[in-house]
Structure 1
Amino acid sequence: MSTTYSHKEKLKSEKLISQLFLEGKSVSAYPLRMVYLKTTFTDAVKIKAGVSVSKRNFKKAVDRNRIKRLLREAYRLEKDSFFNNMTTQYAFMILYIGKEKPTYTEVEIKMKQLLQKFIEKSTKE
């Protein structure tokens, strides 16, 4: 896997997103929470991921967009080291559930913890 976050890797399907929240399992490393679901895709992508920030906690779109950019960047840089040898396909939604605006270093540390917890939980299944 490369350190890009291409269009094919983004979770866009409304059907898949609703199925993800209905049937998916979750792991969390506060203030991040990941809902994931084992699935199959028609294209040759191992993982499709999306990010979300609650409008309830961050009223201004500027703040939500900034946090989403931080989440995507941290995910983009860390996914290569965690998912390089993965064979099954997953759909992810990474949620920011905190109430304060984070810095990039906080998001990066928590993203590593979150992905590590996911790897540990998914290997047990």
Structure 2
Amino acid sequence: MIRLDLLREPFWLDLGMGVRLHLRPCTTALVLAARQAVRDTDMTDEPPDLVPGTRTATFLKAMGRLSILGWEGVGDADGAPVEPTPDGIDALLDLHPVADAFSLRYLGPVALLEQEKNV
């Protein structure tokens, strides 16, 4: 059964490692826009065995740029807090433990809905 109790307002998500993200809800529009970003990315220069990983990373970064409204626990090289920017979001999601936590905790519930509808 699909439950219609999905978050509709921005919310805070703890990723661990002292990082919290203020996020838009993960909606169909966000996912479709991120998928389009993957389709629009030229991967012809990528080694063929890296393309699947590059696609996944591109999708996660696009989701991050579309969904992250703010954050805590993210700083520059000197440790001073910084505001989210597209480049900063990409840099944050280049850190595999952060990208993994973002994928599991933010996109995980959406993936569960995908599984539920295919049962």
Range of TM-score over shorter length: 0.3 to 0.5
TM-score by length of 2: 0.33
TM-score when scaled to structure 1?
A: 0.32
Higher helix share: 2
- Rg larger in structure: 2
Higher relative contact order (CA 8 A, sep 6+): 1
Report which of the two has the higher share of strand. 1
